[in-house]
Amino acid sequence: MQIRIFIVTVLAVCVFAGCGGPPRPAGLPPLFPCDITIIQEGQPLEGALVRLIPESGVSEWAISGKTNANGVAIISTALFRGAPEGTFKVLVSKTDVTPSQHTEPEDINSPEWERWNALVVTERRHTVMFVKPEYDQVRTTPHSITITKGRNQQTFDVGEPVAIRID
């Protein structure tokens, strides 16, 4: 009997406190599911940032997603899943910092780890772009998508891999 009272109490608190996540911002348009797959030379591209920019101008809402191991970005708008209706330019970028030249010790409490940390902090590392810059510019990207009511899915190819140092 006590477990039933506990469950009913928790459900009531959730309903009245709004356990459904953050409140929807005023003016946020209806959103429709949108999954975008990014491939590079026929392979899924993991870790790419995919942004949708309205062809009609600037949006007050951030519309984006990050690709998973299968190259799929689940698009969200203002932290809510989905994208509003309209036609958008699809911008794709992927950057990372060059890895350290020094191997990290396994034991974080060892003196070797402190020496490693000092080396890494002073080490000169570079930011590298792995997708051609043309795919990350509204004026030059060849990719666009039209979001309509219902489920939206599309695949885009960003050409051959590059490694362009940008710093």
Tell me the C-alpha distance between 157 and 70, whole Å: 13
- Enclosing domain of residue 109: 95-129
Residue 105 and residue 141 in one domain: no
Residue 6 and residue 60 in one domain: yes
Residue 106 and residue 33 in one domain: no
User: What pLDDT sits at residue 125?
Assistant: 79
Residue 60 and residue 119 in one domain: no
User: What pLDDT sits at residue 94?
Assistant: 97
Residue 115 and residue 35 in one domain: no
152 and 52 in contact (C-beta within 8 Å)? Answer: no
Residue 48 and residue 70 in one domain: yes
* DSSP structure class, residue 150: S
Tell me the C-alpha distance between 134 and 142, whole Å: 8
Question: Would you report the helix, strand and coil content of the chain in percent, each value rounded to 5?
Answer: 20, 35, 50
In this structure, the strands spanning 34-40 and 72-74 are antiparallel
User: Which CATH number fits the domain that encloses residue 88?
Assistant: 2.60.40.10
User: What pLDDT sits at residue 19?
Assistant: 56
User: What pLDDT sits at residue 59?
Assistant: 81
Residue 105 and residue 30 in one domain: no
What's the structural domain count of the chain?
2
Residue 42 and residue 107 in one domain: no
User: What is the residue-level pLDDT of the chain in tens, covering all 167 positions?
Assistant: 444 443 444 444 444 444 566 788 888 999 999 999 999 999 999 999 999 999 987 788 999 999 999 999 999 999 999 999 999 999 999 998 877 787 888 888 888 888 888 887 787 778 999 999 999 999 999 999 999 999 999 999 999 999 999 87
Residue 110 and residue 62 in one domain: no
User: What pLDDT sits at residue 166?
Assistant: 86
E-strand ranges in 45-163 read: 49-54, 63-66, 72-74, 76-77, 80-81, 86-93, 95-97, 127-129, 144-147, 152-157
Residue 8 and residue 44 in one domain: yes
